[in-house]
Amino acid sequence: MARIKFRSIYKYTEEFKATAVALSHLNGVAVKDVANELAIHPLMLSRWRKQSREGQIVSKKVKLDDKIASDLQELKQLKKDHARLQMEHDLLKKSIRFTSERRAKSSSSSTKTGK
Q: Which residue has the higher pLDDT, 107 or 15?
A: 15
The percent helix, strand, coil of the chain (3-state, each to 5) is 70, 0, 30
Percent of the chain with pLDDT over 70: 82
- Is residue 75 scored above 70 in pLDDT? yes
Please write the tens of the pLDDT for every residue from 38-55.
889 999 999 999 998 888
Gap between the Cα atoms of 91 and 14, Å rounded? 48
Confidence at 33, pLDDT banded by 50, 70, 90: confident
Task: Specify the pTM.
Answer: 0.54
- Is residue 31 scored above 70 in pLDDT? yes
Please write the tens of the pLDDT for every residue from 77-94.
888 899 999 999 999 999
Task: Report the chain's terminal Cα–Cα distance, integer Å.
Answer: 78
Cβ neighbours for 23, distance < 8 A, ≥ 6 positions apart = 29, 34, 37, 38, 64, 68, 69, 72
pLDDT at 3: 59
Average pLDDT on 61-76 reads: 76
- Is residue 109 scored above 70 in pLDDT? no
User: What is the number of other CB atoms lying within 10 angstroms of the CB of residue 24?
Assistant: 22
